[in-house]
């Protein structure tokens, strides 16, 4: 909801225009009586006034200097008025702003209604024309920024979300030759990822569906499976049609019969909601079927915003750590290689950020992070003073270089509290080492990296949030081979493994690493995949965005 202090200037402008406007809001080519010098003078006067009145609200407010600098660069010539006529592209701008909800944005941020009030004036004064020009430019600029970089500041929503790659290219459109070119350039600013484009189309589908139809819910009851009959089966079939898992067909079917085609459709639904695809509608499946269309529209909108926090174009060669899918995808040399991953537990979330992988370590020593030492290692030592010896750890007097190695069995661990623990712990390379045989480094403030693990059994789990924050790889051997393929580093890696030596190997080519978090993604068939929100980040998005990205049936 917009704070009351922001509503006053908008309300004042709207009331002023309402008093002097007519009911005719049809598109028209308005002949402007005032001279161009009068309009330019008024534009200069109105820029600072309008910028103060129309400061963007909520989330990441757009710096007003962008608009001011654009007008200064053009000598305060109006953007939307040429040859004493209003440029018709302003109507296209209004249409785009009114449809901004189709991108998961909130139209209220872009002042389309106020611009239309100005356009409805039969004999606007120079001041009114200047106001319209500046407000329209503010709206254009705000939308250009938001569709390119995202409306909201990610770290204000979630401190663990550190991936924000703002671009300034959206500002370039303010320096194009004409308003027409500016408006036409808006469509080029949204993320170019095919996944974003598919998500955006599905958002429109859910918006239209929520506006035109009521949700079809499946009544609670015993699980439904192949061969069952009754009205609940008909509800199940109708819901799967509504959600797109069953395509419309002219073939006559018994709506209340649970047949093989219904079972196949239900299994498709289960797979794209990360459920056990057993083809039976149990309580968990019915719960997912009954998530309202409005809720799904919101989830899609949250993920469109997350895409806008990424660079508009991604590197061809990159490593994509997909946290909600528990996978690591290697996009290298035109090929895709994927493997399972284990990510941080909900109380030790793997952060979202971008790094640059520069080197790897074979047979690594594990220097235990201070938090893990306090929370995990100290309780084990207090229960068993010989724990370090049994598991191949060394303990040093401090974290400083040259710190003295100590005999862990002679330390009174019971007398040490978490806040007083100052020792440094290191686990020697061996088959039980927590990092396994490989550590892949992309230096970052979070001390997060990819690594091997001796706990291979965890990869058999479907939900794999078990680590203390770092990402464990199912097949580190294949990962190491791919990032060193065809280089001298590949031979160095093999030699170090044979010799069981602790070796640092620089990569032949540095590789961008993205740790990303999406709760809705298109699958290979173009259908939406709704994933478990393992870190409960959608709730933070809802609180920040605070609106419904769909039209209600009452509004059409």
CA-wise closest residue to 90 among 167, 28, 150: 28
Q: C-alpha 525: how far from its chain's center?
A: 21
Contact 345, 465 (CB under 8 A): yes
Q: What share of the chain is helix, strand, coil (3-state, %, to 5)?
A: 45, 15, 40
DSSP 522: E
Q: Is 451 a known active-site residue?
A: yes
CA-wise closest residue to 319 among 355, 359, 345, 288: 355
Q: Is 230 left (phi over 0), alpha (psi -120 to 50) or beta?
A: left
DSSP H/E element including 133: helix 126-149
Give me the catalytic one of 6, 370, 451, 457.
451
Strand pairing class (327-332; 335-344): antiparallel
CA neighbours closer than 13 Å in the CB half-sphere of residue 548: 12
Give me the catalytic one of 109, 145, 273, 470.
470
Computed from CA positions of residues 130, 131, 132, 134, in that sequence, does the dihedral angle turn out positive or negative? positive
Sorted by sequence, the CB contacts under 8 Å of residue 525 that are 6+ apart come out as none
Q: Read off φ and ψ for residue 330, nearest 5 degrees.
A: -105, 110
Q: State both tokens at 233.
A: 């089966």
Q: Coil, strand or helix: which one is 448?
A: coil
- Maximum CA extent, the chain: 94
Q: C-alpha 541: how far from its chain's center?
A: 10
CA-wise closest residue to 430 among 356, 338, 502: 502
If you write DSSP's letter for every residue of 412-425 in order, what string do you get?
-GGG--GGG---EE
Distance, CA of 552 to CA of 208 (rounded, Å): 9
Contact 351, 515 (CB under 8 A): yes
Distance, CA of 255 to CA of 279 (rounded, Å): 17
Rg (CA), the chain: 29
Residue keyed to tokens 């790659």? 165
Strand pairing class (503-516; 353-362): antiparallel
Buried b (16+ CB within 10 A) or exposed e, 457-472: eebeeeebbbbbbbbb
Computed from CA positions of residues 240, 242, 243, 246, in that sequence, does the dihedral angle turn out positive or negative? positive
Q: Read off φ and ψ for residue 307, nearest 5 degrees.
A: -65, -35
Catalytic residues: 451, 470
């Amino acid at each position: 909801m917009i704070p009351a202090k922001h509503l006053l200037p908008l309300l004042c402008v709207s009331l002023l225009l309402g008093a002097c406007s007519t009911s005719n809001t049809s598109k028209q080519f308005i002949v402007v009586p005032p001279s161009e010098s009068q309009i330019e003078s008024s534009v200069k006067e109105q820029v600072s006034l309008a910028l103060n009145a129309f400061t963007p609200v909520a989330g990441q407010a757009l710096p007003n200097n962008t608009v001011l600098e654009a007008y200064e660069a053009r000598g305060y010539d109006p953007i939307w008025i040429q040859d004493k006529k209003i440029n018709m592209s302003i109507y296209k701008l209004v249409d785009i702003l009114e449809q901004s909800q189709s991108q998961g944005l909130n139209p209220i941020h872009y002042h389309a209604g106020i611009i239309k009030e100005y356009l409805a004036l039969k004999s606007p004064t120079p001041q009114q024309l200047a106001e319209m020009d500046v407000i329209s430019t503010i709206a254009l600029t705000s939308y250009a920024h938001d569709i390119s970089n995202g409306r909201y500041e990610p770290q204000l929503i979630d401190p663990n979300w550190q991936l924000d790659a703002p671009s300034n290219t959206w500002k370039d459109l303010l320096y194009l030759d004409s308003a027409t070119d500016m408006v036409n350039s808006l469509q080029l600013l949204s993320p170019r990822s095919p996944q974003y484009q598919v998500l955006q189309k599905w958002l429109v589908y859910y918006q239209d569906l929520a506006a035109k139809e009521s949700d079809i819910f499946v009544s609670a009851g015993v699980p439904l499976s192949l061969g069952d009959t009754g009205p609940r089966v008909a509800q199940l079939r109708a819901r799967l049609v509504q959600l797109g898992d069953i395509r419309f067909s002219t073939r006559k079917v018994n709506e209340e019969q649970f047949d093989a085609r219904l079972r196949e459709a239900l299994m498709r639904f289960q797979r794209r909601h990360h459920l056990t695809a057993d083809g039976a509608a149990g309580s968990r499946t019915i719960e997912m079927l009954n998530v309202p269309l409005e809720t799904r529209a919101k989830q899609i909108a949250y993920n469109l915003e997350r895409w806008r926090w990424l660079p508009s174009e991604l590197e061809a060669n990159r490593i994509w750590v997909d946290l909600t899918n528990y996978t690591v995808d290697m996009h290298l040399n035109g090929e895709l290689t994927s493997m399972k991953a284990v990510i941080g537990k909900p109380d030790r979330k793997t952060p979202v950020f971008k790094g640059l992988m520069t080197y790897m370590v074979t047979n690594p020593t594990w220097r235990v992070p201070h938090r893990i030492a306090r929370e995990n290692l100290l309780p084990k030592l207090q229960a068993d003073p010989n724990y370090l010896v049994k598991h191949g750890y060394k303990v040093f007097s401090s974290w400083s270089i040259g710190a003295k190695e100590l005999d862990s069995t002679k330390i009174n661990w019971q007398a040490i509290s978490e806040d007083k623990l100052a020792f440094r712990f290191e686990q020697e390379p061996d088959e039980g080492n927590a990092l396994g045989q490989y550590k892949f480094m992309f230096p970052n403030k979070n001390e997060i990296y990819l690594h091997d693990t001796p706990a291979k059994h965890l990869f058999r789990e479907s939900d794999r949030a078990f680590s203390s924050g770092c990402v464990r790889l199912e097949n580190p051997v294949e990962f190491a081979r791919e990032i060193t393929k065809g280089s001298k580093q590949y031979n160095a890696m093999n030699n170090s493994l044979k010799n069981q030596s602790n070796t640092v190997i620089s990569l032949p080519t540095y590789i961008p690493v993205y740790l990303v978090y999406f709760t809705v993604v298109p699958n290979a068939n173009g259908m939406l995949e709704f994933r478990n929100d393992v870190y409960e980040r959608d709730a933070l998005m809802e609180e920040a965005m605070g609106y419904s990205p769909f039209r209600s049936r009452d509004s059409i």
